[in-house]
Amino acid sequence: MRRLLIPAVLSLALLGCQKQEPVFEGPFDVPAGFVVESAADADAVGSLVQITFNAKGQPVVSKERDHPTLLLDSDGDGVFETQKVVSDQVNNCQGLWYDGPTLYCMGDNLEGQAGLHELTDADGDGVADGIETLVLFTGPMGEHGPHDIRRGIDGVPTVLIGNHSGVPAEQIDPASPMRNFDEAQLLERYWDARGHAVGKLAPGGALYRLDRAKKMFSLQFGGFRNPYNHAYNWEGEAFTFDSDMEWDINLPWYREVRSVHGIPGADFGWRSGSGKLPPYYLDSLPPVDDLGRGSPVGVEFYQHYAYPAKYFDAFLQGDWSRGRVVYSKFDNAGATYEVSKTGEAGPGFLFFKGKAEEGPQRFDFVYGEPLNVTDLEVGPDGFVYFTMGGRDTQGGLYRVAYKGVAPNWDRLPAEGVLSVVRQPQPLSAWGHAALEKKKAALGESWGTELEKVARDAQAEWRDRTSALHLLQRFGPKPNADLLGAMVDADDYHVRAAAMYVVGQHGSDRAKAVAVRGLDDEHPLVRRRSAEALVRMGLSPDQPSFAPVEKIYSLLNDSDRFVRWAGRMALERTPKQEWKDRVIGESSVTAAPDGMLSLVRLAETPIDMEPVFEKSLSMLKQSGLAPMDELRLLRVFQLACIETEGGCRDSLKQQIYDVTSARFPAADERLNREYARTMAYSGRPEAIGKILAAMPQGEDNKLLQIHYVYCLRALQEGWTREQDDELITWFEKARNWRGGASFPGFINRLFDSSLEHFSDDEKTMAYQRIPEYAPLESAAALKRLQARGGYQRAAVFARQKGSEGVSEQEIFEYLMYDPMTTKADPKEGAEIFKEQCSKCHRFGSIGKDYGPDLTTLNNRFKRRDMIEAVLYPSKTISDQYQAYRIRVGYEVYEGLIMDQDSESVTVLLPEEERPVKFEKSKVEIEKSDVSIMPEGLLDGYDMRKIASLFAYLQQGPAPAAKSDAASGGE
Q: What tens digit of pLDDT does each residue of 489-508 get?
A: 999 999 999 999 999 999 99
| Residues 105-133, mean pLDDT to the nearest whole number | 97
Which tens digits make up the pLDDT trace of 6-49? 333 222 223 233 333 333 334 799 999 999 999 999 999 999 99
User: Mean pLDDT over residues 617-645, rounded?
Assistant: 98
- pLDDT tier for residue 804 given thresholds of 50, 70 and 90: low
HSE, side-chain direction, 13 A CA sphere, residue 266: 24
| 160 in Cβ contact with 205 (< 8 Å) | yes
Bond preceding residue 958 cis, omega within 30 of 0: no
CA-to-CA separations, 229 to 58, 124, 169, 319, 888, in angstroms, rounded: 20, 28, 23, 11, 66
Cβ atoms of residues 894 and 922 within 8 Å: no
Supply φ then ψ for residue 220, to 5 degrees: -85, -55
pLDDT at 337: 98
Asked if pLDDT for residue 794 goes beyond 70, the answer is: no
Rounded distance, CA 929 to CA 882, Å?
7
pLDDT at 199 over 70: yes
Mean pLDDT within 903-913: 76
Order of strands, edge to edge, in the sheet holding 362-367? 2-7, 24-30, 362-367, 324-328, 314-319, 296-302
Query: 96 and 50 in contact (C-beta within 8 Å)?
Result: yes
Sign of the CA dihedral running 533, 538, 540, 542: negative
Half-sphere exposure of 533 (CA within 13 A, CB side): 32
Q: Which residue has the higher pLDDT, 575 or 904?
A: 575
To the nearest whole number, what is the mean pLDDT of the chain? 88
Task: For residues 604-609, give the mean pLDDT.
Answer: 95
- Residue 896: its pLDDT value, please? 79
Other C-beta atoms closer than 10 Å to the C-beta of 869 total 21
* 3-class state of residue 40 by DSSP: strand
According to the model, what pLDDT value does residue 906 have? Answer: 82
**Which element (helix H / strand E) includes 147?**
strand 146-151
Q: Residue 4's pLDDT is what?
A: 33
Instruction: Please compute the mean of the pLDDT values over residues 87-100 and round it to a whole number.
Output: 97
For residue 921, the model assigns a pLDDT of 87
Return the CATH superfamily for domain 2-178+198-402.
Answer: TolB, C-terminal domain (2.120.10.30)
**Reported confidence tier of residue 859, pLDDT bands at 50, 70, 90:** low
H or E element at residue 374: strand 373-378
Closest CA to 417 of 470, 380, 493, 492: 470
Question: CA-CA distance, 688 to 692, in Å (whole number)?
Answer: 6
- Counts for the chain of helices (H) and strands (E), in that order: 30, 37
pLDDT of residue 700: 98
> What is each CA distance from 837 to 729, 840, 852, 929, in whole angstroms?
38, 5, 10, 21
Residue type for position 568: M
Crossing angle for the helix pair 461-474 and 480-487, to the nearest 10 degrees: 160
- pLDDT, residue 861, reads 64
The predicted pLDDT at position 960 comes to 47
What average pLDDT does the segment 379-401 reach? 95
Q: What percent of the chain has pLDDT over 90?
A: 71
d(C-alpha 301, C-alpha 91), whole Å: 27
- For residue 793, is pLDDT > 50? no
Q: Which pLDDT belongs to residue 860?
A: 59
Task: Tell me the CA distances in angstroms from 675 to 271, 656, 685, 708, one per residue in order.
Answer: 20, 10, 12, 10
The whole-angstrom separation of Cα 534 and Cα 366 is 41
- How much is the pTM? 0.85
Distance (Å, rounded) from C-alpha 526 to C-alpha 557? 9
State the pLDDT confidence band at 369, using cuts at 50, 70 and 90.
confident
pLDDT the model gives residue 934: 66
> Mean pLDDT throughout 116-130?
96
pLDDT, position 910? 66
DSSP 278-340: PTTSTTS---SEE--S--EEEEEEE--SSS-GGGTTEEEEEETTTTEEEEE-EEEETTEEEE-
CA distance 263 to 157: 16
**Cis peptide before 370, with omega less than 30 degrees from 0?**
yes
Average pLDDT for 376-389: 98
- pLDDT value of residue 931: 66
Output the pLDDT for position 784.
44
pLDDT, mean of residues 266-287 = 98
Residue 847: pLDDT band (50, 70, 90) is: low
Find the range with the poorest average confidence among 116-125, 443-452, 674-683, 934-943. 934-943
Helix ranges, 643-667 (H):
649-662
pLDDT at 833: 82
CA 659 distance to own-chain centroid: 33
Angle between the N-to-C axes of helices 649-662 and 668-681, in degrees from 0 to 180, rounded to the nearest 10: 150
Looking at the predicted structure, is the pLDDT value of residue 104 above 90?
yes
| Rounded Cα–Cα distance for residues 642 and 552 (Å) | 23
Cis-peptide into 592, omega within 30 deg: no
Question: Alpha-carbon distance 232 to 963, whole Å?
Answer: 68
**pLDDT tier for residue 863 given thresholds of 50, 70 and 90:** confident
Q: What is the pLDDT of residues 733-761, one digit of tens each?
A: 998 999 889 989 999 999 999 999 999 99
Band of residue 348 on the pLDDT scale cut at 50, 70, 90: very low
Mean pLDDT along residues 330-334: 97
In this predicted structure, the answer to whether residue 855 has a pLDDT above a threshold of 80 is no
Going by pLDDT thresholds of 50, 70 and 90, the confidence category of residue 782 is: low
What are the contacts of 952-961 at 24+ separation with CB within 8 A?
A: 952/828, 952/832, 952/842, 952/853, 952/856, 952/857, 952/865, 953/856, 953/857, 953/862, 953/865, 954/825, 954/857, 955/843, 955/854, 955/857, 956/842, 956/843, 956/844, 956/845, 956/854, 957/843, 959/843, 959/844
Rounded alpha-carbon distances, angstroms, from residue 160 to 166, 231, 239, 473: 9, 10, 11, 22
H or E element, residue 261: strand 258-262
Strand bridging mode 216-224 / 205-211: antiparallel
Q: What is the pLDDT of residues 503-531, one digit of tens each?
A: 999 999 999 999 999 999 999 999 999 99
Sign of the torsion formed by the C-alpha atoms of 816, 818, 821 and 824: negative
Which residues on neighbouring strands pair with residue 37, listed in sequence order? 399
User: Does the structure show a pLDDT above 60 at 474?
Assistant: yes
Q: Among the listed ranges 235-249, 305-319, 539-553, 955-969, which one has the minimum average pLDDT value?
A: 955-969
Q: 59 with 430: CB under 8 angstroms? A: no
Q: Which fold has domain 873-931?
A: SH3 type barrels. (2.30.30)
Q: Would you tell me how many other CB atoms lie within 10 Å of the CB of residue 771?
A: 18
Tell me the C-alpha distance between 591 and 584, whole Å: 9
pLDDT on residue 885: 86
Query: Domain locations in the chain?
Result: 2-178+198-402, 718-822, 824-871+943-969, 873-931
- In SS3 terms, 563-606 reads as HHHHHHHHCCCCHHHCHHHHHCCCCCCHHHHHHHHHHHHCCCHH
Higher pLDDT, 760 or 901: 760
How many degrees, rounded to 5, is the angle at CA 264 between CA 261 and CA 265? 110
